[in-house]
Structure 1
Amino acid sequence: MSDPVMLIEETNSRNTMYAVVEQDDRVAYFYLYPSELMTNKYSPRPCWLRNLKPAPEKKDVKAMEEGLAPMLEARYCSHPEGKAPLDPELIRIVWMEEGDGASLIYDGELMAVIPGWTLYTQERSVGYAADCTSGGEDSLMFPLGTPDTNQLHKKVAEATAFWDDWSDETSQTWSILQQQYLDAYEAVLGPTVKYYAIDGGQWPPIGMARFEKDDVVYFVTLGVSIRPMPWVEILYNEKAPGFRRMELALAVSKKDFDEKTIMSFAGMVSGLADRPWKQITWLGEGHTISFSELPAPYESMVLSAALYTGPAIEMPVIYNDPVNLYWASPITKAERLFAHEQPNGGYVLLEKMINNGINHLIQPRKEVVAG
Structure 2
Amino acid sequence: MATFRGGTPPAGREVLTDTNPYGSRTLVVEGDEASSVAYLCDPHGVVHGAVWLANHIPAPETVDLRRLNAGLPPVMPRGGTRHPAGRPPLDPARLEVLWFEEGDGVALFEDGELLAVIPGWADMEHGLPGYARDAIGETPFAWPLEEAMEGLGPRVARARAYWAWRRTEGAWESYLRYVLAHLDATVGPAGRYWDVSEGGLPTVGVTERPAVPGRDYAVLSTVGMSCQRMPQVEQYIDRPDAYARVELAFATRGDPRDAARLFLWLARYPWRSVTWLGHGHTARWYHDRAGFPVPGGYSGVLMLTGLGHLPDPSGLVFGGDSVRWLWLVPVTDAELGTAGHDLDGLAWRVARRLPV
TM-score normalised by L of structure 1: 0.85
Match of 2:25 in 1: 17
How many residues align? The count is 337
Secondary structure of 1:64's match? helix
Match of 1:349 in 2: 346
- Measured after TM superposition, the shift of residue 289 of structure 1 is 1.8
Counterpart mapping for 1:136-151 below 5 A: 136=139, 139-145=140-146, 149-151=149-151
2: CA distance, partners of 1:233 / 1:11: 22
- Measured after TM superposition, the shift of residue 323 of structure 1 is 0.8
2: CA distance, partners of 1:290 / 1:34: 22
Letter in 2 for 1:182: L
Letter in 2 for 1:51: N
1: CA distance, partners of 2:343 / 2:283: 11
CA RMSD of aligned residues (A): 2.0
Q: Which has the higher contact order (CA 8 A, sep 6+)?
A: 2
Letter in 1 for 2:86: G
**Are 2:175 and 1:167 equivalent residues in the alignment?**
no
8 A Cα contact 1:305 1:324, kept in partner: yes
Match of 1:26 in 2: 34
Percent of residue pairs bearing the same amino acid type: 31
Counterpart mapping for 1:53-202 below 5 A: 53-119=57-123, 122-136=125-139, 139-145=140-146, 149-168=149-168, 170=169, 172-202=170-200
Moved more, 57-66 or 243-252: 57-66
Secondary structure of 1:322's match? strand
- Measured after TM superposition, the shift of residue 146 of structure 1 is 5.9
2: CA distance, partners of 1:349 / 1:81: 62
Secondary structure of 1:6's match? strand
Relative to structure 1, the CA distance from residue 44 to residue 191 in structure 2 (aligned partners, 3 Å threshold; closer, same or farther) is closer
Relative to structure 1, the CA distance from residue 163 to residue 12 in structure 2 (aligned partners, 3 Å threshold; closer, same or farther) is same
Structure 2 alignment gaps of length 5 or more: 1-10
Deviations 1:273-301 (A, max 9, x none): 00111122221111222232231232221
Counterpart mapping for 1:203-352 below 5 A: 203-212=201-210, 213=212, 214-236=215-237, 238-253=238-253, 257=254, 259=255, 262-291=256-285, 292=289, 293=292, 294-340=294-340, 342=341, 345-352=342-349
Relative to structure 1, the CA distance from residue 145 to residue 86 in structure 2 (aligned partners, 3 Å threshold; closer, same or farther) is same
2: CA distance, partners of 1:308 / 1:202: 35
Letter in 1 for 2:157: A
Letter in 1 for 2:199: G
2: CA distance, partners of 1:347 / 1:243: 19
- Measured after TM superposition, the shift of residue 221 of structure 1 is 1.0
- Measured after TM superposition, the shift of residue 98 of structure 1 is 1.6
**Are 2:355 and 1:362 equivalent residues in the alignment?**
yes
2: CA distance, partners of 1:95 / 1:347: 37
Aligned match for 1:7, one of 12, 15, 23: 15
1: CA distance, partners of 2:177 / 2:248: 17
Relative to structure 1, the CA distance from residue 54 to residue 235 in structure 2 (aligned partners, 3 Å threshold; closer, same or farther) is same
8 A Cα contact 2:122 2:129, kept in partner: yes
Match of 1:366 in 2: none
Moved more, 204-213 or 289-298: 289-298
Structure 1 alignment gaps of length 5 or more: 364-371
- Measured after TM superposition, the shift of residue 308 of structure 1 is 4.1
Deviations 1:91-110 (A, max 9, x none): 11111222222111111011
2: CA distance, partners of 1:69 / 1:270: 41
- Measured after TM superposition, the shift of residue 157 of structure 1 is 1.5
2: CA distance, partners of 1:64 / 1:54: 17
8 A Cα contact 1:330 1:362, kept in partner: no
Deviations 1:157-184 (A, max 9, x none): 211221222234x2x3222211221111
8 A Cα contact 1:46 1:127, kept in partner: yes
2: CA distance, partners of 1:290 / 1:67: 38
TM-score normalised by L of structure 2: 0.88
Letter in 2 for 1:229: M
